[in-house]
Structures are given as structure tokens and as C-alpha cells.
Amino acid sequence: MKRNTQAFLNQLLICILVTTCCGGSVGLGIVWMRHQISIVANTNRALAARVVELERFIAEKRILVESAQSPEELRRLNSTFGLGLGPASDTQVVRVTEDPVRRMVARANRELFGEASLPITLSLNPTH
């Protein structure tokens, strides 16, 4: 009877040890996952702050460009540098009514593949 009790205690001790190890492993895995989640969250927060900073920078530069292209600024620069430029006439202005992106793509493709549309002529010399 003493042997059965000791065997039962050994099995119970092994079960408790295995359960503790598995529980510890799961707990350690949960802590590691939470740490990884916090690292990713901090990285996302930093990236979002950088995006906001860049959008603000782009907006500032857009305002500078628009102010430099204003008619008053252009007239001031014209008189400052003595360029003698006048306003554009209607014959100098070309109004584009189609989609500008499609127009640019068509122009680029025409320049790329313009030679491919030319006919190819072959002359066969039977003496060679």
C-alpha cells in the first residue's frame, strides 16, 4: 500500500510540475505578445506623428508656391528685375479640356512607341 501511495504522489507531483511549466510558458508568451503589441503601437504612433508633420510641411510649401505664383507677386518681380513682360494674350494660352493624366500618358506612349508604328521594309537580295 505504501508503494501505491508513493507512486500516486510521484504522478501527482509530475502532473503539478507539468501544469506549472505549461502555465508559466503560456504566461510568458502572453507577456511577450503584449510587449510586441506595445512596440508596434508606439511605432504606429510615431509614424502617424511623422505623417501629420509631413502634411503640415507640404501645406506650408503649397502656400509658399501659391503666393509666389500670385499675379501681384509676379508683377512685383517683373518690375523689380525689369523684365518688361506683359500679360499673355489669348493666342498664347492653350486650354486643355481633356484629362491631363491621360494626355500625358498618350504623349509619353506616342514618344515611346512612335517608331513602332512605322512600316518595316525588307529587301531580299537573292545573290547572297
pTM passes above 0.85: no
Amino acid present at 78: N
As a whole number of angstroms, the distance between CA 62 and CA 10 comes to 77
Tell me the C-alpha distance between 69 and 63, whole Å: 10
Per domain, the residue ranges of the chain are 52-77
- Lowest-confidence range among 5-9, 61-65, 84-88, 111-115? 111-115
The SS3 call for residue 33 is helix
Residue at grid coordinates 493666342: 91
Which 3 state secondary structure label does DSSP give 21?
A: helix
Q: What is the mean pLDDT of the chain?
A: 85
Average pLDDT of span 101-119: 72
Spatial distance between the Cα atoms of 21 and 23, rounded to a whole number of angstroms: 5
